[in-house]
Amino acid sequence: MEVKEPDLTVNIGKLHLTNPIMTASGTFGYGEEYEDFLDLNKLGAIVVKGISVNPRCGNPPPRIIETPCGMLNAIGLENPGLEAFLREKLPRIRKYRCKIIVNILGETLDEYEILAERLENSSISAIEVNISCPNVKKGGVAFGTDAKMIYSVTKCVRQKTNKPLIIKLSPNVTDITAMALAAEEGGADAISLINTLLGMAIDIKTHKPKLANKVGGLSGPAIKPIALRMVWQVAERVKIPVIGIGGICTTEDVIEFLLAGATAIQVGTANFINPATAEDMIVGLEKYMTENKIQTISEIIHGLII
């Protein structure tokens, strides 16, 4: 009897992926930086570094600090801006067969609308919205910490694009499910979570913060239990797909997130440790499915027994 190879394909709304392994925004550049280390064509998708309407120079250094089981970063969303991305970056990365998802960020609803409208006619596969930015018209409160603002930004982007729309949630909130439900109501096709947790490190010799920005985003294995819990909570409440992010370093981590309800995952900090991590996970996931006689990813998703 012929044994069929496992089917690793998944769907995120209209977005069809050959496997559930993506790379997380801000940790993989624009993809081409990693092409010497792994076969990018094997990835489910690359989520490029966040793009804003205008270029951003980011925060002063030091901007990255290693912490126990993770790292703090305060890059400041440095990027070349929308027009430079469309003109210089996108044509080069379109040669890869994997899906290209663009992460967008803005400080006003108008900026999010401009980004979505310009990207609508581009060759990208989907849009992921970073809502951890401050809303400058609301006193600097981050979009992602207020359910009403999440609904508003999701709705305004939805009205400007027919591309698959993913909303990336911040974990720095009291009730993550309320934020996810607001994004779903606003028209999101999927939720990705979690973004980094706010953290700090202090130099005991100088008595100063180790980051020039004082605080930064904590990522890496240290945040995995929190991310896993939030993914499970959200996946139990929303009807749209959930993409898990946070401390995912091994195939075992991938499977945990799928069992918790994620349809796909994004690899972030682990890329800095082993640039081929994402490709290794695809191989490991296929091996796990073969050994356990699992034919499709859907047989793993929501497989948590409680």
Q: Which residues contact 142 (CB under 8 A, 6 or more apart)?
A: 131, 132, 133, 134, 135, 170, 172
- Taking the C-alpha atoms of residue 252 and residue 262, their distance in angstroms, rounded to an integer, is 14
57 is catalytic: no
Percent of residues in the chain assigned helix, strand, coil, to nearest 5:
35, 25, 40
> Of these residues, 69, 98, 133, 249, which one is catalytic?
133
Q: Which residues are catalytic?
A: 133
